Amino acid sequence: MGSAMKEAALAVGLTAVLAAVVVLTVNAGGDDGGPEFVMPTAAPSTPVATVDPDAPPEALGEQLANQNGCFACHTTDGSASAGPTWAGLFGSTRPLEGGGSVTADAEYIERSIRDPQADVAQGFQPIMPTSFGESLSDDEINALVAFIETLN
């Protein structure tokens, strides 16, 4: 098996493990009135592929979301999951845990990727991995923001 195939297989496996940990963590406290979601039962339906750096930013963002397991917790169709849906997110006003609210603009979404515990959306646990701010380049984060913006 080639190195790229091993990395892809590892990424899929880690995504499945992360999804299971998230579900167990969120469900451990019982019914607290938070959003309900269904635990993923299989690997993502979109195969993990090499990211095309020449793709338009929004297409690159979608590829990166697939590659980094974002869809284990975030949806693009408005359905409930462990993390906030990205459908209709961009430009909306979102209430935050602990009070207050924020406009989900490019700055907020970028901050949520770099420091996900800074502004946790109301009704969600602070479970997003904090490593994306270090593992993704500025261009990759901007591409993710561009992709999320297209989901309005």
Q: What is the pLDDT of residues 100-130, one digit of tens each?
A: 999 999 999 999 999 999 999 999 999 999 9
End-to-end CA distance of the chain: 40
Reported pTM: 0.68
Q: In the predicted model, what is the mean pLDDT of the chain?
A: 81
Residue 60 phi/psi, 5-degree rounding, is -60, -40
For residue 47, is it within any domain? no
The count of domains in the chain is 1
Question: Within its chain, how far is the Cα of 116 from the centroid?
Answer: 10
Which residue reads 């969600």 in tokens? 124
Provide the CB-side half-sphere exposure for 87 (13 A, CA).
10
Residue-range definition of the domain harbouring residue 98? 3-30+37-42+52-149
For residue 21, is it within any domain? yes
Per-residue burial over 104-116, b = 16 or more CB atoms within 10 Å of its CB, e = otherwise: beeebbbebbeeb
For residue 16, is it within any domain? yes
| pLDDT single digits (tens) 26-37 | 444 445 555 554
CATH of the domain at 80: 1.10.760.10
DSSP state of 137: -
